Every structure is written in structure tokens, then in C-alpha cells.
Amino acid sequence: MFRRMHSPRSGPAGSLFTRILRFLGVSVLAGALAAGIALPVAGGLGVGAKSAAESFNGLPDAFKAPPLSQASQIYDADGGLIATVYDRDRTVISGDHIAPVMRTALIDIEDNRFYQHGAADLQGVLRALNKNAATGGVAQGASTLTQQYVKNVFVEQAGSDQKAVLEAQRQTLGRKIQELRYAIELERTLSKDQILTNYLNITFFGEQAYGIEAAATRYFSVSAKDLSLPQAALLAGLVQSPSMYDPVTHPQAAKQRRDTVLNQMAKYGSISAAQAQQAISTPVRLKVSAPRQGCITAHLGEGFFCDYVHRIVLSDPAFGRTAAERRALWSRGGLQIRTTLSPKAQKALQDSVTSHAYTTDDAAAVMSLVQPGTGKIVAMGQSRDYGLGAHQTEINLNVGTRMGGGLGFPTGSTFKPIVAAAALEKGMSPDQKYPAPYSMPWPAMSDCAGNTYPENGEVHNDSPSLTGPFGMPDAMAQSVNTYFAQLEADTGLCDVAKMANALGITAQAGGTKLQVVPSLTLGSNDLTPLEMANVYATFANHGTYCTPVALTSVTKPDGGSVPVPGADCHPVMSAETADTITTMLLGVVQDGTGKPAGLTDRDSAGKTGTTDESKQVWFAGYTPELAGAAVVSDTRAPRDLDGQSIGGETVGQAFGGTLAGPVWRDSIEGALEGQPAGTLTTTTLPGSGG
């Protein structure tokens, strides 16, 4: 009758049981609670029991279990797994994916009358009272599986807050009242099978494994549906104390506990005595799959991209209105995150950066690849390994500090095409000529705020033999500093800054304001490879800028989708301006400073950059299919790259074309191997030279 009253098909019975408890509450409820916790059974019970009954009556009926925290998977564009990430290693599965022997083993050791009683087991209560009275303590509890499940829900709700976890586990009168009240509600609304499945999905089994699927994988490297009798018995025994019976650290205790479970199963007729003895005679055979999670487990240098994905979820309002909501989404997990990362392009990039700069070098090679027209980040890496060990870092040098990166790098002359684009948009001609001597004072100019910079200081070219006059194409090909100082002055610092902003450069990588000063044209601001790759992707895309994107879809555990941030593609310059820049940058690769980066079998355009004292060297460029930016810099304490051993060779004199250029070239060639070569759109330039 008790079981029937709590069938989900007889809802009023739950209310009847509640009324019975309320009527008998002073004695029965207090006794049940006393059996489950260390409270005196005799003496002073009347007042406490009355208070307990009143507390019981005052609790709301509704009980909602939170979504279980579980593992999320991050996939590349081809569906390959980049990494599994979680706060709690758990994979929620349905009851039909759990071996029947596992369900039986748990019931027999924890609550053998589970299918006969309701939320509370009054026979168990009386048995526990007698046992505890005989021992003078609490030798036996009387919590049902349903009550244990409720307690686990409280622990799950506490999350990583250790104080809240301890509070959820406290064996107090108030806590036991809550467990019983909500257990009654669960027995009214869920079937026994569903409660058991929920229990097996929520329970902690030790070794960072939450839920039966993770536990089966952790200890035996099998799925829960394939557990054998000895394996199921061992896991069922862990529930009481995952640390005490941990088979990895306490194999003898684990076997004894397993054998106890097997004997209980034989006692209750779930298995025969012969089956129990055969299983008991079987040694504990573990096949441990060590917990491997997080971006540190990614290969091919994908750890930095994985970390970038993590930070997108935590920072983008698409994943929650507040930071707390976004953190909760990530912590709950169960997400299937599909990304833009191309495994082929990633391998090519990683092979390139690690062959041109060794992990143990003081200097590091860093590079991002972006697809023009979509904003998709197809590869991201650096020669430093992702991690916390020697010659490793968790700082993603491709991005700024807000996204887990560094302070960026001065970009050198890779910024000059931005100045040229601003000039062309203002109506200036690529045939614009300047005397461009080896050395000259910085021309006077002013910024958008009206701050004036008078003629001052000195700007000079890299070589005394590099003198004008020059037109824009030749000045770009030879990277003539004095030419671009004059072009910047005539264009106006404000217009140059506005063009940089339109191309996604609104601040320095460390979060400080963009320095709109005369040296802007020489790349004095600290920017990132991802930003510069996206700038050059805009030139390849005929002047249409797309915000960089890393995600293609995010699916929640219930199958619903989270709208992912899309690429906001919009024109920031005319197609004629962009194609004119492309024409000039083709010249850089064909006959200028970028010649060492040139591709032999497809169109490519780009620009070199070398900063003061050769502390950083850059190459940023593109084909119709891909755009990328590579930088080589001493990341520990930026110093002159000249004379350093980088990639097994001593650098004589560091230049963007000769040091960063090959990093870019090899990455692009590998990423595009086997793909048809497209053609860059060019314009007819007026005569140049001087």
C-alpha cells in the first residue's frame, strides 16, 4: 500500500501521506529524522518534534533540480574534438544507457526496498532506531535513495562554493526536514526508474568523476551500459565514501567494499550465491582513463584558440546578459561548441611557427589566420606551448589582455597600408609624390581632439641610400618612412585614426587608448596578430570589414541552440581603395621588402614591419582565400633580435621579410595546399617612381 500511495499515477496519495505525517508528525517525523542524524532519541523530544513538524508543514511543495553540471566539448570546423572542458566531469545519460546490473547493485547496497517504499522507509526508520539504540550512537541511517538524491541536488546547487557545499551536506534537523519534504514531492511527480536514473547521473564517484558514465569511463574505460557485475558492484560501493573506497588509492578497501555489495546482491536475490562467489574471486581490474580536460589537453597548439573560445563565452552578451549568467552557462556545461578552426590550417600554422622559432628560444613566433569575407578565424598559434611548465605559457599572444592575451606588439610598417587607405579615401592619388629624403623632421599635424603636434624631432628611413622622390607604390614596396610621415600629415592624423577604428583597431592590446601621434604611421601602437590579420582580410575582401568570429554553433544539453556572435560585415572603404592597396602590396611581395614571403604558385600581397632596434618583426599579408599576420618577438624581455638564436639559426640582422615572412609563407602554403589558386583583384596604378 505504501508503494502504491507514492506511485506517480496516484497523485492524491502523496497528499495523503503528507497529511498522515502531519497528523503523526510529533512522533514519527522526529523519529525518522533522529534515525538519519546524530540527534538524541530520548528526552526533550516533544518541543523539538513539534517545531520539526511545523517546519515540515511550512516548506513549499515545489522542488526543482538544477541542470546538472557536465562536460562541454569544443570541436573544430571538421568536427574533430579540440578539447573537453568542465567544472565537473559528467555526461548525463538516459536510463537505457545504464547497465541493469548497475542499477540493481546500487539499490541492493543503498536502499534495497527502494521499489517498495515511498519517500521515507518507515521499516528502515524503525530498524535504524533499534540499531542506534543498541549501539548508543548512529550506527545506521535511514535515508532513502530519493532523500539521498535530494541531498545531492543541494550539493549540486552549491557549485564550487565550498562553504555552500559544506552547508548542503550538514546533517541537521532542518536539512533532514527539507530532504524528506522534497523527497515526497519527487516520489509524487517522478517514477522510481527516473529517480534512480537521476541519482546515478548526479552522484560523485571520486577521481573527479560525477555521474555513472564518467565513473565507468574513469575506472574501467567503458560506457555505463557495458559495465560487468564486478565493475558495477565496485562503483555502487563507492557511493558511501568515494575517498575511503577509491580503488586507485585504496585497492584493498575497494575490493572489500565491492565484495560487500556482491554479498548484498546475493542476499536479496538479484544474483545467485554462485555468481556472487565467482565475482568475489575476480581481482579488481582497473583500466583508468586519467581525467584529461581543459584547453591544456588540446594538440597542434590549439590550446590558445580553445582558451579564446572560453573567453568569448564568458564575455559576449550572446551567452548571457551578465557576467554571472555567462559564468553559470559555462559551469553548467553540456555544451557542444563548434568552431571555425580548420585542422589543416592549424597544423600548417603550428608546423611553421615551431620550425622557425623553437620553444626554448627567447623569441617566439605568433600568428593568426582569418578567412576574408567571413571573419572566420581558421588558425591561431605560437611557438610557445600552451601550459604552465617551462617554456610554456597560458598567455595567448594573438589577442589582447581582455581575451586572455598579452600587451601586444608595436606593428612597425605593417600599419602603413592603413595610412594609405585613409589617404586614398580622402581623394589622394597613389601617384602622390614626396621628396622623401633619408631624414627629415616630423611634419606638423593634429589629432581628432584638436591636439597639435608641431614640426619636431626626426623621422628617417632604414637606409641612407633610400631617398626619394617616391610615389605611393614604390614607397610602399620599399617601406619609406619619410614618405609615409608626409602622407600621414597631409591625410590628417584624425582621418588615419578613424580608418584604424573602422578596421577594428580602437585601443591598444593592453586596453589603453590608441596613441594618435605622428609615429602612428610607423606602427608605434601595441596591437595583436589577430587584429592585423583582420585588417589585411579587409583589403582582400575589397574593403568590407568583418569582425573576427570563432564560433559557428553552440548547442545546449537539451538540444536547444545558443545564438552565436556573427561576423558584422560592412564596408569601411571603397572597393577601389582596397583593390589599390592590394595592387601596391602585390608589389611589396614581388619586388619589395616582402619578397622572401612571396608564394610561387598563387597571388599574394602583404607588408613587412620592423620596429625600433629590431625588437619585433612582422609580416602581414593575404591571398584571395586567407589573410594572416605573423610576428616574431622576444617575449620574455623584448630586446634586439639581431644576434639571437631563433629556430636553430643565429640572426644576423632581423627584418620582417626575412624572419617573419617565411613564417607567414609556410603557414599559408600548408593551409592552402591542394586548393585552387584564386586571383587578387588589382587596379591600374598611375606611373610611379622617381
Mean pLDDT within 549-554 = 97
What's the gap between Cα 427 and its chain centre? 45
Question: Across the strands, what pairs with 610?
Answer: 617
CB 66 within 8 A of CB 90: no
The one-character DSSP state at 452 is E
**Around 236, how many Cα atoms within 13 Å sit in the side-chain half-sphere?**
32
pLDDT score, position 392: 87
476 three-class SS = helix
The vertex-321 CA angle with 318 and 323, nearest 5°, equals 100
Residues 6+ apart with CB under 8 A from 511: 400, 401, 402
Q: Give the Cα separation of 481 and 459 in Å (integer).
A: 7
Q: Give the Cα separation of 63 and 48 in Å (integer).
A: 25
C-alpha separations of 474 from 305, 417, 438, 528, 660 in Å = 37, 13, 15, 27, 21
pLDDT at 50 over 60: no
Q: Give the Cα separation of 417 and 475 in Å (integer).
A: 11
CB 333 within 8 A of CB 91: no
Q: How many CB atoms lie within 10 A of CB 24?
A: 12
Nearest partner of 578 among 678, 429, 681, 686, judged by Cα: 681
Cell numbers given for 374: 567571413
Can you list the positions of beta strands (E) in 423-558? 439-442, 445-446, 452-453, 456-460, 526-527, 544-546, 551-555
Cell numbers given for 125: 526508520
pLDDT score, position 678: 94
C-alpha separations of 299 from 62, 172, 291, 302, 387 in Å = 46, 48, 16, 6, 12
Model confidence band, residue 631 (pLDDT cutoffs 50, 70, 90): very high
Q: Give the Cα separation of 532 and 27 in Å (integer).
A: 75
Q: Give the Cα separation of 352 and 656 in Å (integer).
A: 15
Nearest partner of 624 among 542, 533, 540, judged by Cα: 540
Model confidence band, residue 68 (pLDDT cutoffs 50, 70, 90): confident
Mean pLDDT for the chain overall: 87
User: Hey, where are the domains in the chain?
Assistant: 2-280
pLDDT at 688 over 80: no
List alpha helices for 592-678, DSSP H. Answer: 661-672
Most confident option among 2-16, 19-33, 386-400, 585-599 = 585-599
List alpha helices for 248-364, DSSP H. Answer: 251-267, 273-280, 303-315, 323-332, 343-356
Residues 6+ apart with CB under 8 A from 633: 363, 364, 366, 409, 615, 616, 617, 641
pLDDT tens per residue across span 195-204: 999 999 999 9
CATH class for the domain made up of 2-280: mainly alpha
pLDDT score, position 119: 81
Least confident of 62-66, 155-159, 565-569, 584-588: 62-66
Q: Give the Cα separation of 479 and 55 in Å (integer).
A: 80
pLDDT score, position 689: 41
Q: Give the Cα separation of 129 and 110 in Å (integer).
A: 17
Q: Give the global pTM.
A: 0.79
The DSSP bridge pattern shows strands 439-442 and 456-460 to be antiparallel
The DSSP bridge pattern shows strands 336-339 and 72-75 to be parallel
pLDDT tens per residue across span 295-330: 888 988 899 999 999 999 999 999 999 998 998 899
Q: How many CB atoms lie within 10 A of CB 515?
A: 13
What's the gap between Cα 439 and its chain centre? 49
Amino acid at 170: R
pLDDT at 61 over 70: no
Nearest partner of 631 among 622, 620, 639, judged by Cα: 620
Cell numbers given for 475: 614607397
What's the gap between Cα 192 and its chain centre? 37
pLDDT score, position 257: 98
pLDDT at 35 over 60: no
Least confident of 27-41, 401-415, 444-458, 650-664: 27-41
CB 413 within 8 A of CB 532: no
pLDDT score, position 334: 92
650 three-class SS = strand
Q: Is 560 exposed, middle or buried (0-12, 13-18, 19+ CB in 10 A)?
A: exposed
Q: With the C-alpha atoms ordered 299, 303, 305, 306, is the resulting torsion angle positive or negative?
A: positive
Q: Give the Cα separation of 157 and 279 in Å (integer).
A: 37
Q: Residue for cell digits 570546423? A: 77
CB 462 within 8 A of CB 481: yes
The vertex-318 CA angle with 317 and 321, nearest 5°, equals 40
Model confidence band, residue 280 (pLDDT cutoffs 50, 70, 90): very high
CA dihedral 588, 592, 595, 599 (to 10 degrees): 30
Cell numbers given for 399: 589577442
CA dihedral 353, 355, 360, 366 (to 10 degrees): -10
| Helical (H) or strand (E) element with 63 | none
**Around 169, how many Cα atoms within 13 Å sit in the side-chain half-sphere?**
10
The one-character DSSP state at 664 is H
| Helical (H) or strand (E) element with 230 | helix 229-238
Residues 6+ apart with CB under 8 A from 84: 71, 72, 73, 74, 292, 293, 297
C-alpha separations of 361 from 348, 349, 364, 644, 649 in Å = 20, 18, 7, 9, 11
Least confident of 379-383, 438-442, 572-576, 641-645: 641-645
Q: Give the Cα separation of 423 and 417 in Å (integer).
A: 10
